[in-house]
Amino acid sequence: MLSQSTIDIVKSTAPLIAEAGPSMTAYFYDRMFKHHPELKDVFNLTHQDTGRQREALFNAVYGYAANIDNIEVLLPVVEKIAQKHTSFNITAKQYDIVGTHLLATIDELMNPGQEVLDAWAEAYGLLATIFINREEEIYQQTEQEIGGWRGTREFKVIDKKEESNVITSFVFEPVDGQPVVGYKPGQYIGIYLNSDKLDNQEIRQYSLSDAPNGQTYRISVKREDNGVASNYLHEEVQIGDCIELAPPAGDFFFATEANKPVALISAGVGLTPMLSILESIKHTHTASIHWLHATDNNERHAFKEHLLNCVQQQDNLTQQVWYKEEQGLMALSQCNDSINWLETEFYLCGPIEFMQSIAKQLIALQTPEENIHYECFGPHKVL
């Protein structure tokens, strides 16, 4: 446990962190990459360029400083980050590197004195230990399960299918011919891309888009305009190619009783974890299932025929789709009266602005906040 002196000092410096803003974490990343360029093979540099990763780290650092006397409230955030870290195969040594450059950043930007630096060193050490221990638990649990492994494992692409004019699915089968560990619908896998055509190793997490089957994994990837990894997958990766994968992970997954109504709400490629959920529950969920999806137009509507078939085959499944170019943004007021806004569990995935809009609409419809679950692609943001 932390000493009271450390707690007091770290909490007192929280306003300084807030004042520095994401510029502090920008300085930190620049400093760390200068001394450890090999970490560019781990971090998503696109998120660095957009500022999303820097903002996420700033929020995490400030949140820790502001709540250091009540770490319990941070445990959900710890779990989210720990799950993501295992798909990057983060090690204890890398925590040492981050700690060194975080303390150096505080020293060089704020010059707070040795007492403050010592307090932050103690506080960071505790947080790093919490993460390292939780991540080791996840590593061990995964490798001990049937079909599980630790680190990365070689898979072959056995199918590549265009689902819309921007989304393509890839199916992976393990080269060793052994089973693959299961996952909770809504989780993702880590994919490691290495090629002479890439400046660095690119590691990405993509939601699994099918029900677990013990033999293969499927992801469905949107080609982003400036997406290094997504464009490489679409243009370069072909059936027969081999790629390293990390095991499934993630703290977003379906966890609703079969007799409780659910709504799966998505926009664009955000339908991928929702599709995994639907495929996993469609034959066992006894209550109503509502599929609500928004996309730009018909050409961008992935899995359209598949969803139509599902609706035709399932009496408890309904579907409503919004094409932005024809109907505008998704408006829950346009849904039929079959949705019980108070009792239904809602699962959301899509662009941040979309999910913020949907969450606001749900709250206005008196949906309890605990019934709203969501997944952010990339660094997490609170709706």
Catalytic, 135? Answer yes
Query: Would you say 207 is a known binding-site residue?
Result: yes
Measured CA to CA, the distance from residue 61 to residue 81 in angstroms comes to 13
What DSSP character marks residue 344? -
Structure tokens at 272: 């991928």
Query: Would you say 100 is a known binding-site residue?
Result: no
Query: Would you say 269 is a known binding-site residue?
Result: yes
Query: Would you say 179 is a known binding-site residue?
Result: no
Structure tokens at 176: 């060793």
Query: Would you say 271 is a known binding-site residue?
Result: yes
Query: Would you say 301 is a known binding-site residue?
Result: no
Catalytic, 95? Answer yes
Structure tokens at 171: 């199916």
Query: Would you say 319 is a known binding-site residue?
Result: no
Query: Would you say 268 is a known binding-site residue?
Result: yes
305 burial class (0-12, 13-18, 19+ CB within 10 angstroms)? exposed
Query: Would you say 264 is a known binding-site residue?
Result: no
How many CA atoms does the CB half-sphere of 64 hold within 13 Å? 18
Measured CA to CA, the distance from residue 164 to residue 260 in angstroms comes to 32
Structure tokens at 162: 């265009």
Query: Would you say 46 is a known binding-site residue?
Result: no
Measured CA to CA, the distance from residue 206 to residue 341 in angstroms comes to 30
27, 29, 64, 95: the catalytic one is: 95
Query: Would you say 204 is a known binding-site residue?
Result: yes
135, 163, 202, 279: the catalytic one is: 135
Measured CA to CA, the distance from residue 194 to residue 175 in angstroms comes to 17
How many CA atoms does the CB half-sphere of 139 hold within 13 Å? 18
Q: Are residues 218 and 201 in contact, defined by beta-carbon separation less than 8 angstroms?
A: no
Binding annotation: 85, 188, 204-207, 268-273, 376-379
Binding annotation for FAD: 188, 204-207, 376-379
List, by residue number, the catalytic residues.
95, 135
Binding annotation for heme b: 85
